[in-house]
Amino acid sequence: MIRRPRLEGLLRTTRLTTLVAPAGYGKTTLLTQAHTDRPVVWHTCQEGHRLLQPMATSLASNWTSVPAVSGEDEAGRAHAIAGLLIDAWPSDVVVVLDDIHVLRQGDSAARLLEALCLQLPASARIVLSGRTVPPFSLRRLKVDGELTEINAAQLAFTAEETTVVAGHDVHEVTGGWPIAVRLVAETGTVEELADLVDEVVGREPEQTRSLLRTAAAFDRFTTDLLVELGHSAATTILPDLARRGLFVEQVRAEPGWFALVPLAREHLEPAIGVHRTAARWFASRGEYVRAVDSLAALEDWPGVTALLGDVLRAGGADAVLAATGLVPQDQRTAEVWQLEGVAHQLRGEWRQAADRFTRATEDGLTAELAWRMAWIQHLRGGPQDALKICDDYVPDGSDPTAESMLLSTAASAHWALGDLEAAAAKAREALKTATNDCAIGTAHTVLAMVSAAQGKRDELTEHYDIALDHAQKAGDVLGVIRIRSNRASHHVEAGEYRAALREIEEMLPLADVTGFATYRAIGLHNRGEALLGLGRLDEAAADFLAAQKVFDSAGSWLAAAPLVYLGEVHRKRGDRALAGYALHEALRLASAKNTVPHMILAHVGLAELVSDDDPDLAREHARKALDLGESVAALLVLGWLDHDKDLCQEAAEIATRRGDRAGFARSLRLRGVLERDSVLLDQALTLWREIGNPLGEIRVRTAQAALVGGAAGEQLAGEARRQAADLGARVLAEAAAAVAETCRKASRPELFIQTLGGFRVLRDGAPLPPAAWQSRKARDLVKILIARRGRPITREALGSLLWPDEEPEKVANRLAVALSTARSVLRAGTGIVAEGDAIRLDPDVLPVDVVVFLADARAGLAAAQRNSSEAQSLLAAAESAYHGDFLEEDPYEDWAGRLREEARLIYLQVVAVLAARAESGGEYALASRYCLRVLERDPYDEPAHLMLVRVLAAGGSHGEARRCYQTYVTRMREIEVDPRPFAANTPRRA
């Protein structure tokens, strides 16, 4: 052996080093000899490590633990586990992955290695060694100077090194191939390598030769295994071979285990007849995956089937799928199909799981099959489909645990359908049937959900405490995730937003590392609700969008929930078109599956959205919500529209009984406005402050300003407007600004047109109802004129846009009527100018929001380039004015497209500058909100993604920074762009 300092130095140069060369080039020897004072994590890959769980478990050994359950989001889980490992390792760690040629492109373990390469801090090092290049792209790392590549030419011995090793110059014959040089040194000859292997092995004693043939039957082996297989001298022979570097090497990632070097594995003939004894030995030591491999080599399929349950418990879903994949189709029993279905279900692969369970039912529907199939339907198809499966099974008491889980699933379905009495009855029956911790915890979880719906706060707390205790005892990771997520939702309902966030921060890391995208989406949705309650609109919108994307991809009815709340966020921002779309889509999905809670929320959201423009339609939606069930919000909508203080009082009583502090605060504010009672408004303000909801505070302070009036009222309203603008709550900001104007008795434009986020005409600050237009074409005519920004259009061209398929004679008459209607609505002298055959809109006479926005935005950007002191206020005003895209309700009209894109691009420039200014000023929370606003409009904006990761980490939100980084990687992969490494400079443990 000789030291090779010229190569050893390359291993420490950059974040990532690759060693790529054929077998026998001394890659492992070089890595073993390289001296380092750093802590080292070493892993030698093998076939079983192509799956994520075995690879993660090996890398985590002695550092941390990785949950064995796994969900459908393998890419997300890989990034989460990478973060878990990096947090556990020292910051100057050296991670060595040997034999990576075992991995293939698309292997889940390869995703983990890629995530490690991207996320590892600059102070750490990772080395990938194998016969082929890593199965993922390294181009971005190479371009950024983060990659050192060592190839076969560099690994080959120089002539001088060859002479030192072989004792004479055989460099020309061997080409410097290290294994060949070493074998020449052993044998003194340069014959074919296979002959060399035979010759070297032949020089060993018979007991060594026999041991090597037995060892060749296994990827990994120990001295105890070989002793069990009849090689009593293995305890001395194996260490001696490893010390001499002769065909055997120690597996550094698994102390006590050995493997044959590649050259020996290729040329040694493995022994036969050893697998039966080996399978028993592996199984007796809990090495069930290796036991299955030995049984599969014997084609003992009943033996493989008998171990699948143990494989699931020890190795998780990935290991089970690898094991069942060995069993031929014609040898599969119902038990094999069922366990394969369980594995797919644990990975969140609902369709594959349902297929395997269906195949397993050919021998009859068991309780466990019914439960698992029903739960899949509950998450995907809907609660009614779940109940049908539950009803098809006739309990016989043979499997009380599975029957209890089936009853709990039925109870959950009844809860989703709004039948609380049936849900409670099924849940109590499930609890009575339960015989283990998992089933007991699940039953208590559903009882807690029922108690919450009935407003019994004390009972729901007790049930969840019991459920969590039993789930943790059972090691039921999914149960723990579900309980914490549900508890967060109930905290939100009670206005306890920070408590909700604490629950979510407990469950999200679990959902991340298990890879259950559906459960993670539920957690993100619940976090979005809490963030919405705290007035953090941009972060809430990002969570709702992420949750919706997961539910949509899974085809789940649960997509209705984030859509409802996205509608609420858009409404608060003033983006009326997107709000309406989200709420109507939520109502459609909820109605299709008859999920009452979501139907109520969608109707209430639509009622609040149209309450100013169409009070009658708002009343209709609110009453529909009340027909479906109890709703504080629906009562308050009706109370506001009808100025009915009794309805406000009824809402307050329901909120009090349910522990709904936010609902009670809303009722206090509305009563204060209707009764002009400052005491009630003070009480509402105090409660909103206790809850921590700034949006509620802003609404109350605006109402107080209107009640106070004068200079004091103007000051109150001005403060409310500024706070609302900072939070992105543009509707509240405008309401406060209007009150401020009223207080100082300033004149305002008689007419003002809103086009950003939807079309509305305001007269004296109040929106004109749709009925005022009489004709949709008259509205479209005004929109077209606005889109031309004062440029005239001929009557013929205008008519062809409005009635493209009509004859010119008819169009002329219709255009005249539409013009007359538009002028009547806008009133004479308010902007529509006819000059001969041409028509235009005069924006100096009729103010339009998009024109004002573009002027402010360009002035702000120009000021920012000059580094002028007025830049911040101009940019902030422009950003606040952008309620949404220009005429969002007309996405396919060509005449609106150019202005829409121009305004949208200017808006993105404004927000990017604001984000950069916030980051440079150390305002990381504000910078992250601006980044989220950019990404909501353009999810592929790489600088915004990277800044978001950077400011989250700088602000101490390391877990969220990693989640956002994984989203960035996913978006870049979608457009075939290599992502940049995780570059956040986070404080780390030494």
The secondary structure of 52-66 as a DSSP string is: HHHHHHHHHTTT---
State the pLDDT at residue 245. 57
- Which residues contact residue 100 at a Cβ distance below 8 angstroms, ignoring those fewer than 6 apart? 45, 113, 128, 129, 130, 132, 134, 135
State the pLDDT at residue 299. 92
DSSP, residue by residue, 746-762: ----SEEEE-BTS-EEE
State the pLDDT at residue 622. 95
- Which residues contact residue 809 at a Cβ distance below 8 angstroms, ignoring those fewer than 6 apart? none
Cα(723)–Cα(716) distance, integer angstroms: 11
State the pLDDT at residue 179. 67
State the pLDDT at residue 32. 78
Q: How far is residue 498 from each of residues 40, 592, 661, 835, measured CA to CA in Å?
A: 40, 34, 14, 61
Q: How far is residue 214 from each of residues 159, 196, 279, 323, 813, measured CA to CA in Å?
A: 37, 20, 14, 23, 96
Largest Cα–Cα distance in the chain?
110
Provide mean pLDDT across the span 704-727: 83
Q: Are 174 and 184 in contact (CB under 8 A)?
A: yes
User: Is the pLDDT score of 175 beyond 70?
Assistant: no
Pick the closest to residue 527 from 559, 498, 553 (CA basis).
Answer: 498
State the pLDDT at residue 829. 56
Provide mean pLDDT across the span 878-883: 88
- Which residues contact residue 952 at a Cβ distance below 8 angstroms, ignoring those fewer than 6 apart? 924, 928, 958, 960, 961, 964, 984
Provide mean pLDDT across the span 261-279: 81
Cα(311)–Cα(330) distance, integer angstroms: 21
State the pLDDT at residue 244. 67
More confident residue, 458 or 605: 605
Q: Percentage of the chain with pLDDT > 90?
A: 39
Q: Are 769 and 613 in contact (CB under 8 A)?
A: yes
| Pairing mode, strands 760-763 and 838-841 | unpaired
State the pLDDT at residue 901. 94
Split at pLDDT 50, 70, 90, the class of 464 is very high
Mean pLDDT taken over the chain: 86
- Which residues contact residue 126 at a Cβ distance below 8 angstroms, ignoring those fewer than 6 apart? 15, 16, 17, 94, 95, 96, 97, 116, 117, 120
Provide mean pLDDT across the span 808-836: 82
State the pLDDT at residue 746. 46
Q: Within a 10 A sphere around the Cβ of 936, how many other Cβ atoms?
A: 15
More confident residue, 645 or 243: 645
pLDDT digits (tens, 9 = 90+) for 293-339: 999 999 999 999 999 988 887 777 788 898 999 999 889 999 899 88
User: Is the pLDDT score of 530 beyond 90?
Assistant: yes
Q: Within a 10 A sphere around the Cβ of 662, how many other Cβ atoms?
A: 22
| Pairing mode, strands 832-835 and 838-841 | antiparallel
Pick the closest to residue 609 from 621, 591, 627, 595 (CA basis).
Answer: 621
Backbone torsion region of residue 894, taken as left when φ is above 0, otherwise alpha when ψ lies between -120 and 50, otherwise beta: alpha
Q: What dihedral angle (degrees, nearest 10) is formed by the CA atoms of 80, 84, 86, 88?
A: 180
User: Is the pLDDT score of 190 beyond 70?
Assistant: no
Provide mean pLDDT across the span 207-233: 92
Q: Are 69 and 514 in contact (CB under 8 A)?
A: yes
Q: How far is residue 414 from each of residues 433, 579, 626, 840, measured CA to CA in Å?
A: 18, 29, 19, 59
Q: To 5 degrees, how large is the angle CA 223–CA 229–CA 235?
A: 25
Token code pair at residue 213? 């043939």
State the pLDDT at residue 3. 67
State the pLDDT at residue 825. 86
Provide mean pLDDT across the span 180-184: 68
Provide mean pLDDT across the span 540-549: 93
More confident residue, 904 or 774: 904
State the pLDDT at residue 6. 66
State the pLDDT at residue 343. 84
Token code pair at residue 294? 């030995």
Token code pair at residue 191? 């014959």
Provide mean pLDDT across the span 943-962: 91
DSSP, residue by residue, 764-777: TTEEPPGGGGS-HH
User: Which run of H or of E encompasses 18?
Assistant: strand 16-20
User: Is the pLDDT score of 193 beyond 70?
Assistant: no
State the pLDDT at residue 52. 87
Pick the closest to residue 698 from 884, 535, 566, 511 (CA basis).
Answer: 535
Cα(934)–Cα(912) distance, integer angstroms: 7
Provide mean pLDDT across the span 695-714: 85
Long-range contacts of 861-868 (CB under 8 A, 24+ apart): 861/906, 861/909, 861/910, 861/913, 864/913, 864/917
Token code pair at residue 259? 């493997």
| Pairing mode, strands 40-44 and 16-20 | unpaired
Q: How many CA atoms lie within 13 A of 685 on its CB side?
A: 17
State the pLDDT at residue 196. 60
Tell me, what DSSP letter sits at residue 94? Answer: E
Split at pLDDT 50, 70, 90, the class of 246 is low
Pick the closest to residue 563 from 535, 538, 589 (CA basis).
Answer: 589
What is the per-residue burial (b if ≥16 Cβ within 10 Å, else e) of 178-201?
Answer: bbbbbbbeeeeeeeebeebbeebb
Cα(59)–Cα(88) distance, integer angstroms: 11
- Which residues contact residue 980 at a Cβ distance below 8 angstroms, ignoring those fewer than 6 apart? 118, 140, 144, 942, 946
Pick the closest to residue 282 from 212, 322, 214, 224 (CA basis).
Answer: 224
Cα(705)–Cα(699) distance, integer angstroms: 10
Cα(315)–Cα(286) distance, integer angstroms: 10
Split at pLDDT 50, 70, 90, the class of 453 is confident
| Pairing mode, strands 838-841 and 147-151 | unpaired
State the pLDDT at residue 985. 42
State the pLDDT at residue 434. 92
Cα(598)–Cα(711) distance, integer angstroms: 44
Q: Which segment, 729-743, 824-838, 928-942, is predicted with the most confidence on average?
A: 928-942
Provide mean pLDDT across the span 404-415: 93
User: Is the pLDDT score of 125 beyond 70?
Assistant: yes
* Range scoring the smallest mean pLDDT among 184-193, 408-417, 548-557, 602-611: 184-193
DSSP, residue by residue, 151-194: EHHHHSPPHHHHHHHHSS--HHHHTT-HHHHHHHHHHS----HH
More confident residue, 540 or 249: 540
State the pLDDT at residue 986. 43
**Residues constituting the chain:** 990
Q: Tell me the pTM.
A: 0.74
pLDDT digits (tens, 9 = 90+) for 844-856: 788 899 998 998 8
User: Is the pLDDT score of 398 beyond 90?
Assistant: no
Provide mean pLDDT across the span 523-542: 92
803 phi and psi, to 5 degrees? -130, 75
The dihedral through the CA atoms of 79, 85, 91, 92 has a sign that is negative
Q: Are 814 and 799 in contact (CB under 8 A)?
A: yes
Which three-class secondary structure state does DSSP give residue 414? helix
Cα(97)–Cα(58) distance, integer angstroms: 11
- Which residues contact residue 125 at a Cβ distance below 8 angstroms, ignoring those fewer than 6 apart? 11, 12, 14, 15, 16, 17, 38, 93, 94, 95
Split at pLDDT 50, 70, 90, the class of 983 is low
Q: How far is residue 693 from each of residues 427, 571, 684, measured CA to CA in Å?
A: 35, 17, 11
Q: Are 384 and 413 in contact (CB under 8 A)?
A: yes
Which three-class secondary structure state does DSSP give residue 475? coil
Split at pLDDT 50, 70, 90, the class of 194 is low
Long-range contacts of 579-583 (CB under 8 A, 24+ apart): 579/605, 579/609, 580/606, 580/609, 580/758, 583/609
Which three-class secondary structure state does DSSP give residue 793? strand
More confident residue, 252 or 899: 899
Q: Are 53 and 110 in contact (CB under 8 A)?
A: no
Split at pLDDT 50, 70, 90, the class of 405 is very high
User: Is the pLDDT score of 195 beyond 70?
Assistant: no
Provide mean pLDDT across the span 14-23: 83
